[in-house]
Amino acid sequence: MTDRLFVVCRAFRVNDSLPQESTSPSHWTWQRGGWLLVDCTTGHISLINLPDFDVLYSSASWYRDYAAYCGVSDDGKKVYAVVAQINRRKPILKKPIEGLNIADKQMNASPDSACPAPAWELPPA
């Protein structure tokens, strides 16, 4: 993002074994988490709250202090194109994307992004 700030996606290692499977080796899986903001000069780490960001179905693309991603509504029925700025509660852009249905994706065993990560384009000079 800048020479002093960067973002990193959290990941969690989760034991996915059932209690009755204690005799077999543990089955560990990795799960995505939210985003963290790291200040290199102070070492301060803080959680970034992105509106409508879903760790399973959103894939963010960063440009400076802006994140672009597909946001998912609370009920999981609507998908939005979202551009959010760090430390702002409301997104700068939030437009519905027609034709994407998260409910169908939730039936899959391995969820993935609702849409591909957006690509940033600078206006011609």
The SS3 assignment for 21 reads: helix
> Domain spans of the chain?
5-105
Interatomic CA distance for residues 5 and 3, integer angstroms: 6
pLDDT of 8-37, one tens digit each?
Answer: 989 888 887 777 776 667 788 888 888 999
Interatomic CA distance for residues 72 and 78, integer angstroms: 6
Contact 102, 111 (CB under 8 A): no
Q: Is the pLDDT of residue 111 over 60?
A: no
If 0-12 CB within 10 Å is exposed, 13-18 middle and 19+ buried, where does residue 115 land?
middle
